[in-house]
């Protein structure tokens, strides 16, 4: 159980970077309801989408406690979200039900109450991106060259699974947990064909049980001893030649969506799992990373390239070629950033997202 203390409701626009969104007032969605009862599976983004045309701007209108907006899981199934059209602002109103399905009661502030933490409503559907917080891996050529290498498996097995041992070289002493991966396809910018990184196929994790050493005998020609690792989890079989990089702990932060603080323009590089197109709540990689100023939490608009049209009026002059304007059709939410590539979750999509589609400021 977690205890949530709310002493005062105040606006959270101060959490949005200065100047962001200030030029455009928040607009209500068509047919916005007066209230919404929170149900399991809701997210702040989804709830806000019922009220706002731009649901990613929910931090500007939700009247939540300033200290807790960084972990905005303040609402739970059964609570009622109320729209104040004067602001507009969204706030928590009456709570539906209670222990033993007692009649409605008024939720008053300040007050202290308790809820199960795993029932809290999240800002975005974290279940959709949790596997991607440690995978996929994007590695550079330098990373791959310096990565650990599996040189042998337990009892000469071709592949291993959890509980088996593997033996690897270039395992840094003192680093106990490692991601195991198999280098896959390069991530190529669709237009320039520049390689932005390598998306490695995540295989699993392993824990060091014995560090490697130099030759067992005082003989310069004796072979070194590789490190021994225990396979603790896996998605695919691990074998000789697979690579290792230090594992980073998976974090499930509470994201506060916001537009980029500078103009950005990139493209969808790939769709995870190698499909040709995708839609809502699926993961794409985009050609913008830390070097471009990309940050976790940025929201970008999806634009489809409509190509060109050729028109020639009958018997009058040569054919004319026209570049058709891009069509905005959705939004993506950036949740993991590498040097030159980022991963984003498709939050809204009016039609399929495809490789080479543009991403821009919303």
CA angle 204, 123, 362 (to 5 degrees): 100
Domain boundaries, the chain: 2-123, 135-246, 265-360
Q: Tell me, what's the pLDDT at 44?
A: 82
More confidently predicted of 359 and 18? 359
Class for the domain spanning 265-360: mainly beta
Report whether pLDDT(14) > 60. Answer: no
3-state class of 156 per DSSP? helix
Tens digit of each residue's pLDDT (9 = 90 or more) over 240-276: 999 999 987 665 556 778 889 899 999 999 887 666 7
**What local confidence, expressed as pLDDT, does residue 112 receive?**
40
Q: Is the pLDDT of residue 102 over 60?
A: no
Residue 361 vs residue 103, higher pLDDT? 361
Sign of the dihedral defined by the CA atoms of residues 229, 231, 235, 237, in that order: positive
Give the model's pLDDT for residue 143: 83
With a cut of 50, say whether residue 99 has pLDDT above it. Answer: no
- Evaluate if residue 342 carries a pLDDT over 50: yes
Model pTM score: 0.69
- Percentage of residues in the chain with pLDDT exceeding 90? 23
Collapsed DSSP state (helix, strand, coil) of residue 218: coil
Distance in angstroms (rounded) separating the CA atoms of residues 53 and 122: 19
Q: Which pLDDT score, from 0 to 100, does residue 119 have? A: 61
Beta strands in 189-262 (DSSP E): 195-210, 213-215, 224-225, 227-234, 243-246
Quick one: pLDDT at residue 311?
84
Please compute the mean of the pLDDT values over residues 196-223 and round it to a whole number. 78
Phi, psi torsion values for 183, nearest 5 degrees: -60, 130
Tell me the per-residue pLDDT of 28-59, one tens digit each, with 9 for 90 and over. 988 889 888 888 878 888 888 889 888 888 77
Question: What radius of gyration do the chain's Cα atoms show?
Answer: 26
Spell out the residues 6+ positions from residue 308 whose beta carbon is closer than 8 angstroms to its own: 321, 322, 323, 324
144-175 confidence digits (pLDDT tens): 888 999 999 887 677 787 889 999 999 999 99
Does the pLDDT value for residue 345 go beyond 70? Answer: yes
pLDDT bucket at 105, cuts 50 / 70 / 90: very low
Q: What is the mean pLDDT of the chain?
A: 77
Amino acid 53: pLDDT: 87
pLDDT at 290: 93
Task: Identify the pLDDT of residue 168.
Answer: 94
Asked which of 13-27, 103-117, 234-248 is least confident by mean pLDDT, the reply is 103-117
């Amino acid at each position: 159980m977690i205890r949530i203390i709310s002493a005062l409701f105040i606006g959270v626009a101060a959490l949005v970077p200065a100047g962001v969104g200030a030029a455009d007032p928040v607009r209500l969605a068509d047919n916005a309801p007066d209230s919404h009862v929170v149900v399991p599976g809701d997210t702040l983004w989804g709830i806000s989408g019922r009220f706002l045309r731009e649901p990613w701007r929910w931090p500007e209108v939700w009247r939540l406690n300033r200290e807790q907006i960084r972990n905005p899981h303040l609402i739970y199934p059964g609570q009622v979200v109320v729209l104040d059209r004067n602001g507009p602002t969204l706030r928590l109103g009456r709570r539906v039900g209670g222990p033993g399905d007692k009649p409605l009661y008024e939720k008053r502030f300040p007050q202290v109450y308790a809820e199960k933490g795993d029932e809290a409503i999240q800002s975005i559907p974290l279940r959709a991106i949790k596997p991607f917080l440690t995978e996929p891996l994007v590695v550079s050529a330098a990373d791959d060259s310096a990565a650990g290498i599996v040189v042998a498996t337990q009892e000469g097995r071709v592949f291993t699974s959890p509980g088996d041992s593997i033996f690897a070289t270039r395992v840094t002493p003192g680093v106990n947990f490692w991601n195991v991966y198999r280098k896959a396809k390069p991530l190529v910018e669709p237009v320039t064909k520049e390689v932005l990184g390598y998306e490695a196929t995540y295989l699993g994790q392993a824990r060091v049980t014995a560090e490697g050493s130099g030759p067992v005998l005082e003989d310069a020609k004796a072979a070194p001893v590789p490190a021994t690792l225990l396979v603790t989890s896996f998605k695919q079989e691990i074998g000789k030649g697979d690579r290792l990089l230090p594992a980073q702990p998976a974090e499930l932060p509470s994201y506060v969506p916001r537009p980029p603080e500078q103009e950005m323009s990139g493209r969808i590089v790939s769709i995870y799992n190698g499909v040709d197109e995708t839609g809502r709540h699926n993961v794409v990689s985009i050609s913008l990373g830390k070097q471009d100023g990309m940050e976790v939490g940025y929201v970008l608009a999806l634009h489809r390239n409509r190509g060109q049209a050729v028109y020639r009026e009958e018997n009058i002059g040569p054919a004319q070629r026209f570049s058709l304007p891009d069509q905005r059709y959705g939004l993506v939410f950036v949740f993991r950033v590498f040097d030159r590539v980022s991963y984003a979750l498709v939050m809204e999509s009016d039609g399929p997202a495809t490789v080479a589609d543009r991403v821009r400021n919303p």
